[in-house]
Chains A and B, each alone.
Chain A
Amino acid sequence: MKNFNLRDFGAGIWERSNRYQRVAIVLVTITLAALLPFAGASFLATPVAAYDAVLVYPVAIFVLMSLGLNIVVGKSGMLDLGYVAFFAIGAYTNGLLSMHTGLNTWEIMPIGIGAAMFAGVLLGIPTLRLRGDYLAIVTLGFGEIIRIVALNVSWTNGPNGISGIQMPPPILGKEFALDDQKLFFWVVLVMILLTIWMIRRLTVRRPGRAWEAIRQDEDAAELMGVPTLKYKIWSFTLGAAIGGAAGVLYAAKNLFISPEMFTLNVSILILACVVFGGIGNIWGVILGGAILGYLPDRIRFISDARLLVFGLVLVVVMNFRPDGLLPRKKREKALVKKGASA
């Protein structure tokens, strides 16, 4: 165990590869991910729930949301316990617009993302002056407010929720179908890839440095000229945008939404995905989201003990790997070079 480190092993392969090898690695990985829905006949199959549906939700949507929350919690170090709020806003935007207008899912998508971002800015400007525990409490309150509003106002149908959400229109002539969710999985996969691209772009440039500096020492960052409030709001808003996109997709997949789907539990579970996988490391976070999304459905055959086992797995893994499965630890370039030549 001491000698083998999956994160460094993976990073080592990447460092040693040339441009073409890297393109090949990326393509193979994407292809393998895209082929996942066809693995339903293998040991991966989920009892009770349909395998391809499980791949869409929770697995892929959890991965997407974990990536979004990781920008806020992992990259910039702000504890957000109300992430479900943005998920709910995206889902309700889809529900309401689908109910009242003729817009389809893809037309609603930018509106849903916009609504979530708007909510993020609105919440962020007053609250991001707070830090740590205080911010956690305020965001937790925000998450609950959104759910309780959806539960109590008439235009969201209150506890009855919104049913009859439109299926997304076909893509390239291929229809979306309830009993075959491969297409849906690929759509979410594309969203995930876009998100990864975005995060990687931002991380190596100015915003990533600003977030990193804020996470490590906010006061020092500000004194070194980082406009901390601005970058914190950006981080929060980008996280919100991804949460909103996940919400729109979730509503389109489920065709029905109600307030009880957007409880504090979801926020905590997504946070668990981030921490379990490796806070701050996007590959870890993807792994965390995938495992924590998949596991409860995979072990559904033990019915009652299911959540107990799930909890135990969490406790045991976090005990052995307190920094998550693939922890964030920046390696020093000089050391990598040494490792490569050895």
Chain B
Amino acid sequence: MSKVLLKLENLTMKFGGVTALNEVNLEVREGEILALIGPNGAGKTTVFNVITGVYQATSGSVTFDGHNLAGRKRFQITGLGVARTFQNIRLFGDMTTLENVITATDVHKKSGLVGALFGTPRARREEKENRAKAHEILQFIGIDEYADRLAKNLPYGVQRRLEIARAMGTSPKLLLLDEPAAGFNPQEKVELGATIKKVRDAGYTVLLIEHDMSLIMGISDRVAVLDFGTKIADDSPAVVQNDPRVIEAYLGVPADAS
């Protein structure tokens, strides 16, 4: 079994009196595609927000690649190798597709403002590397033809893919995809599934939030199910699919009454 990349231990997140996550334990292993599913309001996006440092957990811990993430700033967590996409697309609309990705590739670069001002050799070299890497990622995702278009003018599907490309720009070990197929038609979903598999095969680990069962069953190695902030199942897709508690959570009827 490959090594554990991300580990959530007894993770609890409370907003006032509302418990969004209750004692959640979850492990993501290197090189797998783990799908996180659950009904609306189950706390899936909250998990992402706690991992990426948007929220500080009420209790419990998040360990990534040997680092405890508690108290780290968001850009530092990104620097350690966690990158995410957003459920509601949040690209930098007035920047080109290429610039969106380059902004992300900057995270591992050393040169800052002074280097940029005086055009030091390092700054120049890093600009070149950024550009090459960004094109490489765009080609990999299959949207390089849109490199010079403003992000806000891109077709919806390309914007969704650019979200993934931008996240990959930060050279993450773990990629958190928040409903990457939202609003896609079945054909687009199939294509996206293939892209996600390709991303995993290129060496990334993927934690995926998704509602579309056929997509999840098709690509994920494991499926974890959240319901009202509690993890109720965590197993291979086939097992989870037939778990009575999962069916209950989704269909709202006791499994034996159906």
Contact = CB atoms under 8 A, between A and B. Distances in A.
A binds B: yes
Interface of A: 198, 201-202, 205-210, 212-213, 216-217, 219-228, 231, 234, 330, 332-334
A227 B75 contact: yes
A213 B92 CA distance: 6
A172 B66 CA distance: 64
Contacts of B109: 206
Given A207-B113, A225-B75, A334 B148 contact: yes
A125 B47 CA distance: 30
B119 interface: yes
Contacts of B139: none
B198 interface: no
Contacts of B150: 330, 332
Contacts of A220: 86, 90-92
Nearest to A224: B104
Contacts of A206: 106, 109, 111-113, 116, 123, 126-127
B94 A212 contact: yes
B94 A216 contact: yes
Interface of B: 52, 54, 73-75, 78-79, 83-84, 86, 90-96, 99, 102-104, 106-109, 111-113, 116-117, 119, 123, 126-127, 148-150, 153, 166-167, 169-170
A228 B53 CA distance: 14
A246 B244 CA distance: 72
A213 B113 contact: no
B116 A226 contact: no
B103 to A, nearest CB: 5
A333 B145 CA distance: 12
17 contacts: A201-B116, A201-B119, A205-B123, A206-B109, A206-B112, A206-B113, A209-B102, A216-B93, A217-B92, A221-B92, A223-B52, A224-B104, A226-B106, A228-B75, A234-B113, A332-B149, A332-B150
Nearest first, the 8 closest Cβ-Cβ pairs linking A and B are A225-B107, A205-B116, A225-B78, A333-B148, A220-B90, A222-B74, A224-B104, A216-B92
A208 B93 CA distance: 15
Given A201-B119, A224-B167, 18 more contacts: A206-B109, A206-B116, A206-B127, A209-B106, A212-B95, A212-B103, A220-B91, A221-B92, A222-B73, A222-B78, A223-B75, A224-B83, A224-B104, A225-B75, A228-B75, A234-B113, A332-B153, A334-B149
A292 to B, nearest CB: 26
Given A201-B117, A201-B119, A332-B148, A213 B95 contact: yes
A226 B100 CA distance: 12
A212 B84 CA distance: 20
A223 B54 contact: yes
Given A223-B54, A225-B75, A209 B113 contact: no
B37 to A, nearest CB: 23
Nearest to B169: A224
A330 B113 contact: no
Contacts of B123: 205-206
